[in-house]
Amino acid sequence: MSRLLAGWGRTAPTAARVVPLGDDAGAALAHPGPRGTLARGLGRSYGDAAQNAGGTVLDATAHDELIDIDPEAGTVRVDAGVSLDRLLRRLVPLGFFVPVTPGTRFVTVGGAVAADVHGKNHHHDGSLANHVREMTLATPTGTVTVGPARDPDLFWATAGGMGLTGVLLDATLALPRIESSLLRVDTDRATDLDAVMALMDEGDHRYHYSVAWIDCLARGRHLGRSVLTRGDFAAASGLPAKHRDHPLAYDAAVRIEAPPVFPSGLVNVWTMRVFNEAVYRTAPVRRRDELQPIARFFHPLDFVGGWNRLYGRRGFLQWQCVLPFGAEDTLRSSIEGLSGAGVGSVLAVLKRFGPGNPAPLSFPAAGWTLALDMPVVPALGPLLDGLDEAVVGAGGRVYLAKDSRVSRRLIPVMYPRLPEWRTVRDRVDPEGVLVSDLDRRLDLSGRWA
């Protein structure tokens, strides 16, 4: 049946025939219809990455049976439609964590691989594909098993390949061991951008997890004021009495649901200013060793189900860039541009990335990454176009899983290894069966010129 599908930002919905992904993905790929096929997970990419207008969309969440944990090896083999939420419920009580988690646990393993997601530990552990041992991929030319040492070209083209190299069926992930489900968190409030960057430069390496919330509406001497939270999983020994008996207890509930319909415009520059002021003022100037559960530290937004609806019918955009070290001036001028235009964000995040991995379309690269959620206002278009140009000029790029509006002209500059990726893609999908709206818009595949 044809259904309207949108990304998390709810900006450009299109209709597709939605079919559950079953065991026979090969058949779906063999008879794709004139507008092709694409797998979709939980729809948490912000733009149009998991849409295929007029074509077929395979609902991967229907393919979620297998969770095979090998405690000796510290690995799990998991169906691509399993969410990190479900995976964590199984792993944490056994003393394992996922190697990488984005800011929400409501993503599928397949979607996470397709976007090669990163988390607060990127400076230590890299992105998700660095921890994938092996995966099974249904391609239009056959189902194959790939890994870093087994058809590495296809493996790395699939990591960050936005679902355009095949339909992921399962993946085997290496898991970090944890002694407790709590993190020891240090919080620092930084009065401006220089201060927070200096703190991160100087101390990030001492923490496994690190991220800064940044107030992109603050101007002048407050530009870039931030709240930096960093932490590590707590050891079982030394926990306070109430946690000692069940150090691996895991609670991750969705506390409230956002209303189904919410007016556009309530998240605006004035309400954002009030919110940002409150976040900044209520954060401690300096706090050490606070114990926080996993859900609060990693997935604070997941406490509100469907929070994207709070932006109303118009939806919202996410813009995330990475800038290499040395391009701090561009980072500063980007934040100045945003705060000056009053196009602020309540959910702006700054993080220091470690080095990238061999995947040609993987987003992370050594440097600073800035991510912003913004309500859709018409002035946003020209403003973000300007920021894109500045990012490209400084040797940076934007994140495809978040994009919904970048100019396609900039993609080969942002992702200079695109030709290499296309070669691998053309090998497994010579007829162009795998299609997404993102690909139609940005021409990653090189078939829409």
Binding site for another protein (CB under 8 A): 2-4, 9, 11-16, 35, 47-48, 52-55, 313-315, 317, 376-378, 380-382, 385, 404-405, 407-409, 437, 440-441, 448
Residue closer to another protein (CB basis): 361 or 376: 376
Closest distance between another protein and the C-beta of residue 52, in Å? 8
Closest distance between another protein and the C-beta of residue 383, in Å? 11
Residue 299, class by beta-carbon neighbours within 10 Å (0-12 exposed, 13-18 middle, 19+ buried)? buried
Closest distance between another protein and the C-beta of residue 45, in Å? 12
Closest distance between another protein and the C-beta of residue 41, in Å? 20
Q: Which positions ≥6 away from 393 have C-beta within 8 Å?
A: 330
Residue closer to another protein (CB basis): 187 or 264: 264
Find the largest Cα–Cα distance for the chain: 63
Residue closer to another protein (CB basis): 12 or 366: 12
Closest distance between another protein and the C-beta of residue 448, in Å? 7
Looking at the DSSP bridge assignments, the partners of residue 213 are 227, 349
Residue closer to another protein (CB basis): 234 or 442: 442
Give the separation between CA 168 and CA 154, rounded to whole angstroms. Answer: 12
Residue closer to another protein (CB basis): 220 or 378: 378
Based on its alpha-carbon atoms, the radius of gyration of the chain, rounded to whole angstroms, reads 21
Quote the tokens at residue 388.
Answer: 């894109």
Residue closer to another protein (CB basis): 13 or 148: 13
Residue 89, class by beta-carbon neighbours within 10 Å (0-12 exposed, 13-18 middle, 19+ buried)? middle
Contact 256, 304 (CB under 8 A): yes
Instruction: Report how far Cα 444 is from the mean position of its chain's Cα atoms.
Output: 19
Residue closer to another protein (CB basis): 50 or 175: 50
Quote the tokens at residue 32.
Answer: 């794709």
Closest distance between another protein and the C-beta of residue 314, in Å? 5
Closest distance between another protein and the C-beta of residue 371, in Å? 16
Residue closer to another protein (CB basis): 429 or 439: 439
Residue closer to another protein (CB basis): 192 or 437: 437
- Number of helices and strands in the chain (H, E): 14, 19
Contact 317, 404 (CB under 8 A): yes
Closest by Cα among 18, 142, 97 to 295: 97
Give the separation between CA 224 and CA 218, rounded to whole angstroms. Answer: 7
Looking at the DSSP bridge assignments, the partners of residue 129 are none
Q: Between β-strands 14-20 and 56-59, what pairing exists: parallel, antiparallel or unpaired?
A: parallel
Closest distance between another protein and the C-beta of residue 323, in Å? 22
Helices 328-341, 193-203: inter-axial angle, 10-degree rounding: 140
Residue closer to another protein (CB basis): 39 or 317: 317
Closest distance between another protein and the C-beta of residue 265, in Å? 10
The conformational region for residue 165 under phi > 0 = left, psi -120 to 50 = alpha, else beta, is alpha
Looking at the DSSP bridge assignments, the partners of residue 257 are 305
Closest distance between another protein and the C-beta of residue 397, in Å? 17
CB-CB neighbours of 70 under 10 Å? 11
Q: Between β-strands 56-59 and 304-305, what pairing exists: parallel, antiparallel or unpaired?
A: unpaired
